Amino acid sequence: MKDHAFIELRGVSKSYGRGEATIRALDQVDLSISAGEFVAIMGPSGSGKSTAMNIIGGLDIPSSGDYLVQGIATATFTRAQLTLLRRHMLGFVFQGFNLLSRTSAVENVELPLVYRGVPARERRLLAQRALEQVGLKGRERHTTQELSGGQQQRVAIARAIVTDPAVLLADEPTGNLDTTTSREIMDLISQLNRERGITVIMVTHEEDIAAYGKRLLRFVDGRLASDEIQAREAGDVLRDR
């Protein structure tokens, strides 16, 4: 286990249901992630990878074991404190984009700042800056229906980074995109990790997308089956296609 872990799971298990209907989604998982890492998570359906992501994102809580952030056990957190953790430390990117329809790109990006109570003028400036950072300057007023799939995912990434999060959680971020657009989105996520030092934790079922991570975790039957440093440079597998 690494020293000075930023995110840590200690003997984390997660079960759903009762009695014979109990499903053990995670089984005694130990995991340590340092600040600034780019970690890819893979595994078959039902392997526990999404459950692990949900726990790290504060969207679910362990049945047993400890989830620590910067050495602080989140088991002591109230529901309100978990909300603050998500709001101030974490950014989320989903496969389905999860954008508001018939709403402009800049208004979608502003949404996390609205929850923070940021004044309208300041949040508009921050949202415009985030859209520029993801290559969408000039598209601020376009609604989601007027944007391509790749552009919508860029808006989703801008929304995730507008609060300057320490951690970006990406769940199948290229699942609905073609190969060329997938490469563009993954290059962008890699750039955010490299240049801004954002810790990236990404779930994917695609080997070529997982190749962007510097570290690869594989889950099987609720357990962490392997944890390896990847030798190839980010994106080499995808670029070879």
pTM above 0.85, yes or no: yes
pLDDT the model gives residue 21: 83
State phi, psi for 106 to the nearest 5 degrees: -65, -35
CA distance 216 to 32: 13
Q: Identify the burial level of 61 via C-beta atoms within 10 angstroms of its C-beta, where 0-12 means exposed, 13-18 middle and 19 or more buried.
A: middle
* Tens-place pLDDT, residues 135-163: 999 999 999 999 999 999 999 999 999 99
Cα–Cα distance measured from residue 159 to residue 156, given in angstroms and rounded to the nearest whole number: 5
Distances (CA, A) of 141 to 48, 96, 125, 146, 199: 39, 21, 13, 10, 30
In tens, the pLDDT along 83-134 reads: 999 988 999 998 888 899 889 999 999 999 998 999 999 999 999 999 999 9
Residue 82 parent element (H or E): helix 79-89
pLDDT tens readout for residues 202-227: 999 999 999 999 999 999 999 999 99
CATH classification code of 7-239: 3.40.50.300
Q: What is the per-residue pLDDT for 2?
A: 43
User: Is the pLDDT reported for residue 239 higher than 70?
Assistant: no
Domain regions of the chain by residue span: 7-239
pLDDT in tens, 23-59: 999 999 999 999 999 999 999 999 999 999 999 999 9
Torsion region of 42: left, alpha or beta (phi above 0 gives left; psi -120 to 50 gives alpha): beta
Residue 231 has pLDDT above 80, yes or no: no
Structure tokens at 176: 């609905």
Query: In Å, how far are 43, 184, 222 from 148, measured between CA atoms?
Result: 29, 13, 36
